Amino acid sequence: MKIGKIIVGAILVAGVVTTINAADGAKVFKRCIVCHGKSAEKVPPGGSIVSATLSAEEIKKSLRLYKTDKNHGGKMKVNMQTQMKTLSEEDIDAVADYIFKNFHIAK
């Protein structure tokens, strides 16, 4: 019985830690507003695509490319590459999902 309580306790603690450390797409997105707009509706300086028209998977792919491919992006790619350096994979997933769920504009 004691082992059962320990396992249940460990699961609860793991759940709380996961919740505390979970990426917050809304919080991450606040960094994007200056160039992409309050609803990801603007073409950013030097860009050509409105983020809100992309699927969550397209956003994730693009953000990951900014993080890993120095040739990805337009005139302002260095700005995006700098922003991506500080984001975790979970942050990228969270912000892409947040943009898609809250601001998506059908093409």
Confidence of residue 36 (pLDDT cuts 50, 70, 90): very high
- 17 lies in some domain: no
- 13 lies in some domain: no
55-81 mean pLDDT: 95
Give me the amino acid identity at 68.
T
Residue 8 has pLDDT above 80, yes or no: no
pLDDT value, residue 18? 39
| CATH number for the domain that contains residue 96 | 1.10.760.10
18-41 mean pLDDT: 88
Residue-range definition of the domain harbouring residue 64? 23-103
> Mind spelling out the 3-state secondary structure of the chain?
CHHHHHHHHHHHHHHHHHHHHCCCHHHHHCCCHHHHCCCCCCCCCCCCCCHHHCCHHHHHHHHHHHHHCCCCCCCCHHHHHHHHHCCCHHHHHHHHHHHHHHHCCCC
Number of domain units in the chain: 1
- 9 lies in some domain: no
- 7 lies in some domain: no
- 93 lies in some domain: yes
Q: Give the CA distances from residue 17 to residues 4, 12, 25, 52, in Å, rounded to whole numbers and listed in that order.
A: 20, 9, 18, 31
